[in-house]
């Protein structure tokens, strides 16, 4: 009798442990994402006004992209990382204002920057990076 109770308790405990483990998940990207591309062609900085990003894409109409600005290998906290900017193929452009919502009035003239742009539907396939310094990107 004691062995039956012990076996029953072991079976119940094993079932509880197995039932609590998370189900395995898979992240699948559609096969069509290989044809989707994003390119950053230029970044213009207008001190005290805005940062303008321009590029091209093969994404279908109605999609948007996320961005991140990195200064000297550190992501800038004031940059609107969570905002998805609409893009219209083949060429796109949008601006991030300076001097508002925690953004500085200007970028550091002596720093190296990298802008990252990606489509949330396939971020690993569509990631584009563009490196620049303020001296080479500022408007006259």
Six token digits for residue 14: 């094993």
Six token digits for residue 41: 């062609």
CATH C-level class of 32-137:
mainly beta
Output the pLDDT for position 137.
56
Q: How far apart are the first and last CA of the chain?
A: 90
The domain locations on the chain are 32-137
Chain centre distance of CA 31: 20
Q: What are phi and psi of 122, to 5 degrees?
A: -160, 70
Q: Number of C-alpha atoms within 13 angstroms, CB side, residue 33?
A: 15
Six token digits for residue 60: 């279908």
Residue 27 has pLDDT above 60, yes or no: no
Output the pLDDT for position 23.
40
Output the pLDDT for position 26.
37
Higher pLDDT, 27 or 112: 112
Chain centre distance of CA 60: 18
- The model carries a pTM of 0.71
What is residue 124's three-state secondary structure? helix
């Amino acid at each position: 009798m004691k062995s039956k109770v012990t076996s029953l308790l072991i079976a119940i405990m094993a079932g509880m442990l197995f039932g609590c483990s998370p189900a395995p998940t898979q992240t699948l990207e559609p096969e069509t994402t290989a044809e989707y591309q994003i390119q950053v062609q230029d970044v213009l900085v207008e001190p005290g006004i805005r940062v303008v990003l321009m590029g091209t894409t093969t994404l279908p109409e109605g999609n948007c992209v996320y961005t991140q600005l990195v200064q000297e290998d550190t992501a800038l906290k004031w940059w609107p990382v969570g905002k998805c900017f609409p893009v219209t193929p083949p060429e796109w452009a949008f601006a991030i204002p300076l001097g508002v919502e925690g953004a500085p009035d200007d970028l550091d003239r002596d720093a190296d920057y990298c802008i990252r742009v990606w489509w949330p539907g396939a971020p690993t396939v569509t990631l584009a990076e563009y490196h620049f310094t303020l001296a080479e990107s500022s408007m006259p």
